[in-house]
Amino acid sequence: MPIDGFVQWVISLVSDYLYVGIFIAALIETIFPPIPSEVIFPLAGYIVSQNNMSFFHVIGLGITGAAGSTIGALVIYLMALKIGREGLARYLKYARITDKHLKKVDGWFAHHGEKVILFGRMIPGIRELVSIPAGFLKMQMLKFIIFTFAGSCVWSVSLSLAGYYFGIASVHFFG
């Protein structure tokens, strides 16, 4: 399946099965970076606004997406912990992650420590990579999960809110 078709499938998943769809999409998006969370979460917020659902659904969707992202990040963390950098490097090329990307994240991790996990989950292009050095460097798993979930919540809720408010604004602007 071409990447465009895969992205369309994920968008349909979110549109058709809102909470379950956002959980699965966030999980997949974390493990396979070509799926942009910058599309998934605003779409979910937009759907909430267009269906006159309560504002609290936006927060719920963000938290649900953060849970999916955290599980996906944990898979990457465990892979990095188990097979190490060299073993994982063989598979990263399929996700278009180069050694240059990893060295950049490694440098941030070495300089800023565990805070990279929290803040890195909010930076496009980095958010999928921060789990790798955490696994290589054997970061404490509970800390990893807490920091990943917290950073993912901020990211997911923020993007969902943007989609929600865009949907509200479009109704008022376009009638």
pLDDT in tens, 140-174: 999 999 999 999 999 999 999 999 988 767 655 55
How far, in Å, CA of 120 to CA of 108, rounded? Answer: 9
Per-residue confidence (pLDDT) for residue 158, from 0 to 100:
95
Q: Residues 59, 152, 154, 8: is their CA dihedral positive or negative? A: negative
User: Rounded to two decimals, what is the model's pTM?
Assistant: 0.83
Distance CA 18, CA 156 (A): 14
**Mind listing the pLDDT tens digit for each residue in 64-120?**
999 999 999 999 999 889 987 777 767 666 666 677 777 777 777 778 878 889 998
Q: What pLDDT shows up at residue 36?
A: 75
d(CA 149, CA 54): 23
Residue 62 has pLDDT above 80, yes or no: yes
Tokens read off for 4: 């465009």
Give me the residue label for tokens 């496009």: 124
